[in-house]
Amino acid sequence: MTVLAIRDLTLRIAGRALLDGAGLAVDPGRRVGLVGRNGAGKSTLLRAVSGQIAPDGGEIRLAARARLGHVAQEAPGGPLSLLETVLEADAERAALLAEVERGPQDPARLGEIHERLLAIGADSAPARAATVLAGLGFDAAAQARPVGEFSGGWRMRVALARALFLEPDLLLLDEPTNHLDLEAAMWLEGWLQRFAGAVLLVSHDRFLLDRCVHAIAHLDRGKLTLYSGGFSEFTRVRAERQAQQAAQNERVLAERAHMQAFVDRFRAKASKARQAQSRLKALERLPPVEAVVEDAPTRFAFPEPAALPPPVLSLRRASAGYDGHPVLRGLDLRLDQDDRVALLGANGNGKSTLAKVLAGRLALMAGEQHRAPRLRVGYFAQHQAEELDPGGTPLSHMQAALPKATETQCRAQLARFGLDEDRATTLVSACSGGEKARLLLALCTREAPQLLILDEPTNHLDIDARDALVRALSDYAGAVLLITHDPHLVELVADRLWLVADGTARPFDGDLDEYRALLAERARPAGAAARQDATPTRRDERRDKAEARGALAPLRERLKRVETALAGLGKEAAVIDEALADPRLYARDNPALLARATTRRAAIAREVEALETEWLELQERLEDAA
């Protein structure tokens, strides 16, 4: 028995068929990831399953008495507290409690009500709701506040909490991590792994799709194809199928060519006419050649920034906040142009505050800030999509941002992020979330910044666009500061991590797996932690290792500075060597210039020798401490 059956489904939007004869079956307890390019129709399919829109053909059938849960598109609001708002999602519980409160009634009916309340776990509902809200980042004080006091992103978390609290037979989730930080996304991952019901999950988060689903449904050109396993297995199997189809096509085409050549050669000869006719019939029986249709790869390209001397930006004993109240204190941080830094920490700890300081959009309350002369910063923040003019186009926005540029130059900058000729003149109100994100990327990089600050850049980008962003960042010659809930993006882009917590930001000496382990340790109840530490010295060992990593941090930092200095000296030496190899230098009859070049070249050799010696010593100290 299936909890959801989709048969021969057709869905059209504005006359365009998004699904055409598509089919899918989801069994009880089965978690299925729904993937496809932006605009393929994934969200439309979820809306049809939830009954918000009617199909144009085919059928969508839910199992009898199956409870459906989905996240409302509109964020909840009003005077009710967060906890009350989540409890209100269980309409049956609310109706039964209201019936009890209305006063005396038939004892038999009252017994039925209490029996049903017991069956649905009404007494434990507040505790379950509080647990879900806590996992999504709301502490006890926040759960008691009216939902209307929270921003749109936080209220969307409440909408997600309502859907999770119901624990339905079929749960529909559309990009559930878009409004979550890494900590809440990790909690959601664990919740989904434990959830007993079926899930249809739209997500572009590879990590979530690899760890939380049993199968992948690929929506492509109106059809749904089901693949067993997570996203990595899906990409492997799909690539193999495409390769097999291409090889089959080559064999069929070669056989066709061979038979056709025989027919063309011997058709007119009486002695070969029967054989030629036989080959013609065999030719007709060959299977048709199916084209291997591959989408054009998405490509992003950042403009090349000018080089700046290190550091491009640094903070020393700095504090920042709002209205005289500091959010972050004691900031001692440095960024060089080749740095790739990801910020860790729960929402509300100050990640966006730090990003605004580094972007130059928030002044320090105390301390020092050094910014390299001519430093340009590109700042991407998801909320900026709300500031776009819905009546404008990507082209008009770029022309306003680059008033001295020609239309051709503006179109070229948009084309770097896949906004081609047609998309460049589409009204922003008609653009998808992914297209708006591309426009924001094009706008924030229009002046070739040396520092790129990306605050949740992958929200609304499909998987191909996320891959394109990773490739573009790999080629980018500037510094990157990344705030994201996507662990895949962090692992591929960042080479350093900063932890924003406890009112400050500091380097985190570890990788993402160690940070996950740290969060899991903090989340474990005290009793469970004691049981886990069966050996009395294990906690001490972990503390000692953490202290040892902290002690090694200055060595690693110095090693990085030495490597940067060596690279700079190597470039300078190459320039001088090229000049010394030029005969024109000796023909100028300028002995002072020649002397300066040779003297500097000798000084560089001495500096390189000293730095290389220091590099070897640092490496040995790090290896001995490992």
Question: What pLDDT is attached to residue 360?
Answer: 92
Domain boundary among 540, 556, 578: 540
Helix, strand, coil % (nearest 5) of the chain?
A: 50, 20, 30
Domain annotation covers residue 32: no
Domain annotation covers residue 28: no
Residue ranges of the chain with per-residue pLDDT less than 50: 271, 289-294, 526-539, 542
- Tally of domains in the chain: 4
Domain annotation covers residue 295: no
Q: Minimal CA–CA distance to 172: which of 60, 71, 37? A: 71
Structural domain that includes position 240: 235-285
Domain annotation covers residue 51: no
Q: Is 25 helix (H, G, I), strand (E, B) or coil?
A: strand
Question: What pLDDT is attached to residue 539?
Answer: 46
- Using left for φ > 0, alpha for ψ between -120 and 50, and beta otherwise, residue 207 falls in alpha
Residues 568 and 512 in one domain: no
Residues 325 and 265 in one domain: no
The dihedrals phi and psi of 571, each to the nearest 5 degrees, come to -65, -45
* CB of 197 closer than 8 Å to CB of 171: yes
Q: Which residue has the tokens 């309502």?
A: 162
Name every residue whose Cβ is closer than 8 Å to that of residue 310 and which is 6 or more positions away in sequence.
336, 337, 564
Neighbours of 478 (CB within 10 A): 27
| Angle at the Cα of 26 from the Cα atoms of 25 and 28, rounded to 5 degrees | 140
Domain boundary among 502, 522, 540: 540
Quote the CA–CA distance of 425 and 410 in Å, as a whole number: 12
Residues 514 and 416 in one domain: yes
Question: What pLDDT is attached to residue 526?
Answer: 47
Question: What pLDDT is attached to residue 90?
Answer: 87
Question: What pLDDT is attached to residue 612?
Answer: 83
Residues 139 and 96 in one domain: yes
Residues 348 and 433 in one domain: yes
Q: Minimal CA–CA distance to 222: which of 423, 41, 50? A: 41
Residues 128 and 262 in one domain: no
Residues 146 and 264 in one domain: no
- The DSSP-derived string for 352-388 is HHHHHHHHTSS--SEEEEEE-TT--EEEEEGGGGGGS
Neighbours of 361 (CB within 10 A): 12
Entry pTM: 0.68
Domain annotation covers residue 70: no
Domain boundary among 116, 133, 164: 164
